[in-house]
Chains A and B, each alone.
Chain A
Amino acid sequence: MTINTMAKGGWHRDQMSCFRKMEKVIVAMQDPDMGMKMRNQRLLITIIPHAMTGRDIIDWLMKKSNICEEESLHISGLLVRYGYIYPLKEPRSLVLRPDESPYRFQTPYFWTSTRWPASELDYAIYLAKKNIRKQGELMEYEKERYSVLHKRINHTWDFVVMQAREQLRASKQRRKADRIVLECQEQAYWLINRPPPGARNVLDMGLERPNNTARVTLNSEHYKNEIDTCKRALGRNRVKSSICLEGFMKYSEQYQNHDPIMQGCLPSNPWISDDSAHWTMNLETVPTPTRLRVERWSFSFMELLNDEMGRREFMTYLEKEFSGENLAFWQACEDIKHGESSKIVEKVEEIYRNFLAPGAPRWVNIDSKTMDKTLSGIRHPHRFVMEDAQMHIYFLIKKDSYPRYLKSDLYKNMLAKGIVPQETKKSVFPFMRRQRHSSPSPAQVATQATEEGGNAKGAGQAGTNSAAGSNV
Chain B
Amino acid sequence: MAAEKAEMDALKKECDGLRTQIEAARKAVNDGNMTSAAGSATEVGRVQLKLRKSLKGHLAKIYSMHWSSDSRSMISASQDGKLLVWDTHTGNKLVAVPLKSAWVMSVAFAPSGNLVASGGLDNMCTVSNIKAASPKTLRELDAHTGYLSCCRFLSDTEILTASGDTTCCLWDLETGKQKIIFTNHIGDCMSLALSKDENTFVSGACDSLAKLWDLREGTCKQTFSGHTSDINAIQFFPNGNAFVTGSDDCSCKMYDLRSDQEVITYQDGSLNAGVTSVSLSNSGRLIFAGYDDFNCHIWDSLKGEKVGVLSGHDNRVSCTGVPADGMGVCTGSWDSFLKLWN
A-side residues, CB < 8 A to B, are 1-2, 4-5, 13-15, 17-18, 74, 77-78, 81, 202, 204, 206-207, 209-213, 215-216, 218-220, 223-227, 229-234, 236, 238-249, 251-256, 258-262, 265, 269-272, 274, 276, 279, 282, 302, 338-342, 384, 437-445, 468-472
Contacts and interface: CB of A to CB of B under 8 A. Distances in A.
Contacts of A302: 196-197
A78 B216 CA distance: 49
B22 interface: yes
B340 interface: yes
B242 to A, nearest CB: 7
Top 10 nearest A-B pairs (CB, nearest first) are A472-B91, A14-B292, A441-B45, A242-B32, A255-B283, A230-B18, A259-B283, A442-B45, A245-B37, A223-B11
B259 A238 contact: yes
Nearest to A77: B314
A233 B45 contact: no
A440 B184 CA distance: 41
Interface of chain A: mostly helix, strand, loop or mixed: helix
Given A234-B21, A261-B342, A251 B283 contact: yes
Given A244-B256, A270-B89, A469 B51 contact: yes
B248 A4 contact: yes
B145 to A, nearest CB: 9
A151 to B, nearest CB: 27
B113 interface: no
B89 A276 contact: yes
B33 A252 contact: no
28 contacts: A2-B187, A2-B248, A13-B274, A17-B273, A215-B166, A218-B186, A220-B4, A229-B219, A234-B18, A238-B29, A243-B258, A248-B237, A249-B41, A253-B41, A258-B283, A260-B328, A261-B322, A265-B327, A269-B328, A271-B52, A341-B174, A341-B175, A440-B44, A441-B45, A443-B43, A443-B44, A468-B50, A470-B52
Contacts of B237: 248, 251
B124 interface: no
A5 B248 contact: yes
A280 B229 CA distance: 45
Contacts of A18: 273, 293-294
Interface residues of B, number: 122
B281 interface: yes
Contacts of B29: 238-241
Given A14-B292, A78-B314, A220 B281 contact: no
A224 B248 contact: no
A272 to B, nearest CB: 6
A238 B26 contact: yes
Contacts, number: 305
Main secondary structure of the interface of B (DSSP, over half): loop
A220 B5 CA distance: 9
A209 B155 CA distance: 30
B55 interface: yes
Nearest to B223: A233
Nearest to B43: A443
A68 B136 CA distance: 47
Contacts of A342: 174
A339 B157 contact: yes
Contacts of A341: 157, 172, 174-175
B220 interface: yes
A373 B288 CA distance: 47
A439 B52 CA distance: 13
Contacts of B200: none
Contacts of A231: 18
Given A5-B248, A219-B8, A255 B273 contact: no
B284 A439 contact: no
Contacts of B105: 207
B188 A239 contact: no
Given A437-B342, A444-B45, 4 more contacts: A244-B259, A245-B32, A261-B282, A338-B157
Given A238-B260, A261-B329, A472-B55, A279 B72 contact: yes
A236 B216 contact: no
A441 B32 CA distance: 27
Contacts of B42: 443
Contacts of B316: 14, 206
A1 B248 contact: yes
A13 B272 contact: yes
B154 to A, nearest CB: 8
Nearest to A438: B342
B44 A469 contact: no
**Which of A13, A246, A339, A437 has most chain B Cβ within 10 Å?**
A13
B293 A17 contact: yes
Contacts of B187: 2, 213
B328 A261 contact: yes
A14 B273 contact: yes
B56 A472 contact: yes
Contacts of B157: 338-341
